[in-house]
Structure 1
Amino acid sequence: MAWWLRDYGVAAMSRPQGRPAAAAPRSRPCGPRAAFHVAKISNLPKKTKQNGRKFRKNRVYLHIVSTNERFNDKRMKDFLKHVGATVVGLFLFSVVVAGIGIMAVVGMVASASSTRSVASNSVLVLTLDGPLAEQSEGTLRDQLTGDSPQGLREMLAAVRKAKANDDIKGIYIEAGDLDADMAQAEELRGALMDFRKSGKWIVAYGEEYSQLCYYLATTANKIYMNPQGLVDWHGLGGQVTFLRDAYAKIGIKMVPFKCGKYKSATETYTEDRMSEPSRRQTERYLGGWWNAICQAVGRSRGISVDSLNAYADRVVSLEDPKNMVRLKMVDALVYDDEVKPLVNKLLKQEADDDINQLTVADMADVPEPDTTDSDNEVAVYYAYGEIVDEVPTQSLFTSSHLIVGKDVCRDLASLADDDQVKAVVIRINSGGGSSYASEQLWHQIGKLRSKKPVVVSMGGAAASGGYYMACGANYIFAEPGTITGSIGIFGILRDRSELMTRLLGFKYDEVKTNRNATMGSEVKPMTPEQAGYVQAAVDRGYLLFKSRVAQGRRMTMAQVEERAQGHVFLGSDALKLGLVDALGGVDQAVAKAARLARLDDYYTAGYPAPKDFWEQLLDEGSSSTGSVLDGQLRQTLGSLYEPFMLMRAAEGQSWLQARMPLLLRAR
């Protein structure tokens, strides 16, 4: 006798001993497959139940399992394996991260609390190569490796400490291709010249000197160059990219709304060449920078300005390097291994003696010369980059340097409420950005000023929105080469109607309750009436900006108008026009803030505070990936990189801007 247990996929078969088994009756398969796996089950106790059925002793039972069940069992085992591996991996990752975090925190605490003793006959090494930020922004990787990048703030502090420390005999400049603002270079050069006045020496060596690096290197007692090196001396210049025709090819038209004949920031998107007012003001600040460089280099090297201009015109950098010595641009041609004996001679050591070297990062642990136990703090707040309303979504195109209106307002409010902070210096390096955020920052600086003195130190640029912020302070410092002014705002809207309707073939219809209900759509041109409303809003913003300047600088509206219309000025010109109060850098601004607060003793502290370990850990992956992708994009696009980035940047900006024109760099 045999039967099929269809509900459970089990067949029980019995036969008398010695008799052949009867064939099982045919039946439909249990499941979608026709193949089965047979397993023997034996020695079951009496009245044992399995799957709800009773089984008798001394019988042979066959368990028939479909391959579907077999596959599902295997899949469940694999799933459990993966879950287990994931849990173990997450646990190990957490342990590693926690370990790294503990080491980083311990390292940072130890670094913050430790002081470095300086060996006698030491030399401070300044590496003038690559981009120079306002302050060091070391990533988590930098902190773990102890290799944080240099910033202007740290360089100035290192030079100041080196001047006061008797064990540091001189500075060694490693020259290269420095990328800095003109104002940053002026401030650093002033610190190096002050170091020289103390009677200590400076030596510079490089295989290649960029113009701005050479400008700084001429503070040295001796300038050495590799026999196959060069000084890249050719004058200042640059090219401005215009995107109007490129937009036209893809059916996009940029519609500008601006105030003032010098407010030329919209020209990049709406014109195919520079307007004459824009050309004149660009030539003025480039000429001012170049004249300042030539004057300083000429005094240091004993070369006339006319000769330096002649060298630039004939591209002396491509001539035989020996000519550099004959023209007094450098003192000697030596290989890098021949510099050590020259430095040892200045240290009065043997030619092969080891030299005690200190980097800018090392100097961070050397105490300030005038360390005080005062409870009076002068806060130095660094605000640099584009002014934006809020933090944008992180992407390859997002700048790491931003003045986020809401964040900075919150920080300034905190400084206003801190009783230990007696005065605040705001270091501004920005060409502007969002008009709305600029107004909010002006308001918050005014509230801060009502409680304690506020002094602004302008960096490479404090123009348009950057000047909007600055004009609310008690006192303003600028470097001669600072770019400032650009008092004015503009609006720019995109008209994609041709792209969407003619080129892509989209069709649109609309339903509305009022005449201008669909105003602002990018798929249809604005009417003259709508354009008039937008221009009126821009005009009101411009009037508000001018009123803020008049209030802060104690001028009439007519006086402000003479200095406005988007006109860009050098810091030296802004001083004559009353837009700034004095020429100088951060150190001068700190001293002035202390005087305004009537402080006899004080210490300084930098803000905003560095990100903690966990914030840096979260940022590390995206920032590293972004840097790699940006480098690959630069390499792939080549000369197309800049216009592509300009077009992409325009997509993320608010329509109403207090922004200066694109600024050429002094390289």
Structure 2
Amino acid sequence: MKQFFLTVAGVFVGLLLFVVGVPFLLVVMAAGAARPAPIPAHAVLQLDLRGGLPDQDPKSPFAAFSGGGAGSVMSIIDTLRRAEKDDKVAAVLVRLPEGGVAPAAADELRLAFKHFRETGKKPIYAHSQGLYPSGMITSTYMLGASSDELWMQPDSSFQAVGVSSESMFFKRFFDKYGVKADYEQRYEYKNAVNPYLYSDYTPAHRESTLSWMGSVYRSALTSAAADRKRDPAQLIRTLEAGPYSAQEAQAKGLIDKVGQVAEIEAYALDKAGKGAKMIDFDDYAARSKPPAVKTGPAIAVIGAEGAIVTGAGGGGSPFSGDSNVYSDDVAKAFKAAADDKDVKAIVFRVSSPGGSDTASEQILAAMKSAKAAGKPVVVSMGTYAASGGYWISSQANSIVAEPSTLTGSIGVYGGKFALGDALARFGVDTKDLHVGGDYSEAFGSAQGFSPDQRAKFAGWMDRIYAGFVSRVAEGRKLPVARVREIAKGRVWTGEQAKQLGLVDELGGFYQAIDKAKALAKLDGDVRLKRVDGAKSPFEAFEKFLGVSETSARTLAAAAWVLGDPRSQAILDEMAKARLRAAPGGAAVLADTPVR
């Protein structure tokens, strides 16, 4: 019955769209094609980073209608490469966020800013309305310092004094209410579940966290000092003596000028030339896209951002910007790239904290198949490529990471919460029944593991950890004993990982492209071919709603043409309901959440 009504609804909307919507859409499209908005002869692109910044664009184009910030790191660096060659673009004005930019994202954007300034011979101006102590705020300052001029709003706060991270520990709370966190870790640095097991940082947890935080801090301020032509030690002393007002920061040489947003806009336009206009960065990105080149040698670009899970995407709302790395989709993308005669090498962009070990193994196997087909694979690491994110990267021909990428975390954890005692205090009794071996009830929530269940579960964990270590040893050509020594679940920055042999080079996406070209023996400009194994947006609609692809297309177009945000909200809620209703199960996760 549900299927019948959904199909009828799809057909009805399709008819409505055909009679009313399609003519309207055609008129709008024709009008837009007849009168394309020209890019002015002197344009200043305004890039607003205050709305959040994923590493990669969402796979569904419909996700753009849900709003967002300045696109993604990848779209920004791609657009800047075009803008630096565009005679109509005179400069870029960057609006910095008040909080922290993810360190590796800041590294990638800094490289793009420097390339724009040096290759395009055009200025970048940055403006801040305040820098506040929120985690990785020094990375935001580093990004601002890479501009030609860094401005701040008068009397705003300059509080880029360090890097911070905060964890909540729930052990005493759990003890009070009878909750038992029953987990296994491989090994002491695999600290994602430590807040459930302890009341404070363990020595290993503290050591690991302070190590990568210190690396990120030193890397950011060394870069900022180089860009502002300051002695690093002196810059660090000045910063740590803060906070300051904008005027004090200017007096100490931490920024260049103090002024309102309107003042720096007028300044940039005046420098750009007579008749210069301010253009939104996203608008320019959409207008300036060159026609796709479909012939000749190519480097395939495969993206992976988010948690690594088994299966294929397209089951949630096509309007949602949420992202996962679906193993079926990525495996299909590698196969498509391997089968494409024009593709000479593959760049695999990874920004993932990890996920399922089995999904990670499926992706790694697909990468190995592509390599066996003669296609070199270079991994470009984004914000993080940790645990499962490192698993899927470990056997690439070469790995390129940003200095502040969080990677490694070669380890595994898994377990459950035993809630029986806690619920009993409220009159709720949980009783297990099972048929077959005792291990069938190992993941019941009534009580913790029995000794036999724990032994079997620990053996499972050991096998997964040993497999992880062996894959890293094989891919990185390191002795197993050496990998075990530097693994244990420890998170490293890209800078640290290079010293340990887990990463080959420090750099960004275009450095990975250069490496792929070298491995494939390609010269000059080479086209980049985005390869995505995911379902089309309309196939995603079909799976999500359970209606035909034709009906899905009409629903999508109707939501867009009629501009009703309620339809998108309903679709999102339906997706969440489906996820809540999905059958669950115990799984060993190969990930470490990193901040």
Q: Same fold (TM over 0.5)?
A: yes
Shift in CA distance, 529/137, structure 1 to aligned 2, threshold 3 Å? closer
Q: Which runs of 5+ in 2 are unaligned?
A: 1-7, 542-554, 560-564, 575-579
Shift in CA distance, 113/541, structure 1 to aligned 2, threshold 3 Å? farther
Q: CA deviation at 1:590?
A: 1.8
Corresponding residue of 1:235: 162
Matched-pair contact (CA < 8 Å) for 1:130–1:179: no
SS at match of 2:49: strand
How big is each residue's C-alpha offset from its partner over 1:233-286, in whole Å with a ceiling of 9 and x where there is no partner? 231102112233333444321111122221222212222211111111111111
Q: 1:260 aligns with which of 160, 178, 187?
A: 187
Question: How does the TM-score come out when normalised to structure 2?
Answer: 0.81
Q: CA deviation at 1:175?
A: 2.6
SS at match of 1:171: strand
Greater shift, 148-157 or 298-307, is seen at 298-307
Corresponding residue of 1:204: 126
Shift in CA distance, 436/137, structure 1 to aligned 2, threshold 3 Å? closer
Tell me how far apart the structure 1 counterparts of residues 113 and 69 of structure 2 sit (CA, whole Å).
22
The answer to whether the aligner puts 1:535 opposite 2:445 as a matched pair is no
Shift in CA distance, 95/288, structure 1 to aligned 2, threshold 3 Å? same
Shift in CA distance, 306/127, structure 1 to aligned 2, threshold 3 Å? same
Corresponding residue of 1:46: none
Q: 1:566 aligns with which of 473, 480, 489?
A: 489
Q: CA deviation at 1:444?
A: 1.6
Corresponding residue of 2:380: 457
The answer to whether the aligner puts 1:181 opposite 2:102 as a matched pair is yes
Matched-pair contact (CA < 8 Å) for 2:432–2:444: no
Corresponding residue of 1:190: 111
The answer to whether the aligner puts 1:337 opposite 2:262 as a matched pair is yes
Q: 1:378 aligns with which of 296, 299, 302?
A: 299
Tell me how far apart the structure 1 counterparts of residues 131 and 415 of structure 2 sit (CA, whole Å).
41
Matched-pair contact (CA < 8 Å) for 2:184–2:414: yes
Shift in CA distance, 118/465, structure 1 to aligned 2, threshold 3 Å? same
The answer to whether the aligner puts 1:271 opposite 2:235 as a matched pair is no
Tell me how far apart the structure 2 counterparts of residues 552 and 116 of structure 1 sit (CA, whole Å).
50
Amino acid at match of 2:360: S
Identity across the alignment (%) = 27
Matched-pair contact (CA < 8 Å) for 1:101–1:613: no
Q: 1:123 aligns with which of 35, 44, 52?
A: 44
Corresponding residue of 2:4: none
Tell me how far apart the structure 2 counterparts of residues 144 and 496 of structure 1 sit (CA, whole Å).
41
SS at match of 1:575: helix
Greater shift, 241-250 or 555-564, is seen at 241-250
Matched-pair contact (CA < 8 Å) for 1:104–1:143: no
SS at match of 1:560: helix
Shift in CA distance, 515/460, structure 1 to aligned 2, threshold 3 Å? closer
Q: 1:603 aligns with which of 506, 510, 527?
A: 527
Corresponding residue of 2:78: 157
Q: CA deviation at 1:195?
A: 1.8
Tell me how far apart the structure 2 counterparts of residues 105 and 126 of structure 1 sit (CA, whole Å).
31
Q: CA deviation at 1:185?
A: 0.8
Corresponding residue of 2:552: none
Tell me how far apart the structure 1 counterparts of residues 230 and 372 of structure 2 sit (CA, whole Å).
50
Q: 1:657 aligns with which of 584, 589, 592?
A: 589
Tell me how far apart the structure 1 counterparts of residues 37 and 213 of structure 2 sit (CA, whole Å).
42
Corresponding residue of 1:433: 355
Shift in CA distance, 377/541, structure 1 to aligned 2, threshold 3 Å? same
Tell me how far apart the structure 2 counterparts of residues 402 and 132 of structure 1 sit (CA, whole Å).
16
SS at match of 2:411: coil
The answer to whether the aligner puts 1:547 opposite 2:470 as a matched pair is yes
Tell me how far apart the structure 2 counterparts of residues 399 and 277 of structure 1 sit (CA, whole Å).
36
How big is each residue's C-alpha offset from its partner over 1:586-617, in whole Å with a ceiling of 9 and x where there is no partner? 11212222332233453112242795367476
Matched-pair contact (CA < 8 Å) for 2:179–2:421: yes
Corresponding residue of 1:480: 403
Corresponding residue of 1:580: 503
The answer to whether the aligner puts 1:497 opposite 2:428 as a matched pair is no
SS at match of 1:594: helix
Shift in CA distance, 262/194, structure 1 to aligned 2, threshold 3 Å? same
Counting only pairs closer than 5 Å after superposition, residues 36-47 of structure 1 correspond to structure 2 as none
Q: CA deviation at 1:511?
A: 7.0
Matched-pair contact (CA < 8 Å) for 2:52–2:68: no
SS at match of 2:498: helix
Q: Which runs of 5+ in 1 are unaligned?
A: 1-86, 630-647
What is the number of residues matched between the two proteins?
Answer: 551
Q: CA deviation at 1:152?
A: 0.9
Tell me how far apart the structure 2 counterparts of residues 592 and 516 of structure 1 sit (CA, whole Å).
49
Q: CA deviation at 1:222?
A: 2.0
Matched-pair contact (CA < 8 Å) for 2:41–2:276: no
The answer to whether the aligner puts 1:612 opposite 2:543 as a matched pair is no
Amino acid at match of 2:87: D
Q: CA deviation at 1:388?
A: 1.6
Tell me how far apart the structure 1 counterparts of residues 27 and 527 of structure 2 sit (CA, whole Å).
25
Larger radius of gyration: 1
Q: 1:415 aligns with which of 337, 341, 364?
A: 337
| Greater length-normalized contact order (CA 8 Å, ≥ 6 residues apart) | 2
Amino acid at match of 1:657: L
Q: CA deviation at 1:559?
A: 1.9
Q: CA deviation at 1:428?
A: 0.5
Tell me how far apart the structure 2 counterparts of residues 480 and 575 of structure 1 sit (CA, whole Å).
9
Tell me how far apart the structure 2 counterparts of residues 380 and 416 of structure 1 sit (CA, whole Å).
12
Shift in CA distance, 347/299, structure 1 to aligned 2, threshold 3 Å? same
How big is each residue's C-alpha offset from its partner over 1:478-522, in whole Å with a ceiling of 9 and x where there is no partner? 111111111111221222231344543426475766565644332
Corresponding residue of 1:169: 90
Greater shift, 521-530 or 477-486, is seen at 521-530
Q: CA deviation at 1:533?
A: 0.9
Tell me how far apart the structure 2 counterparts of residues 375 and 160 of structure 1 sit (CA, whole Å).
21
Corresponding residue of 2:551: none
Matched-pair contact (CA < 8 Å) for 2:443–2:586: no
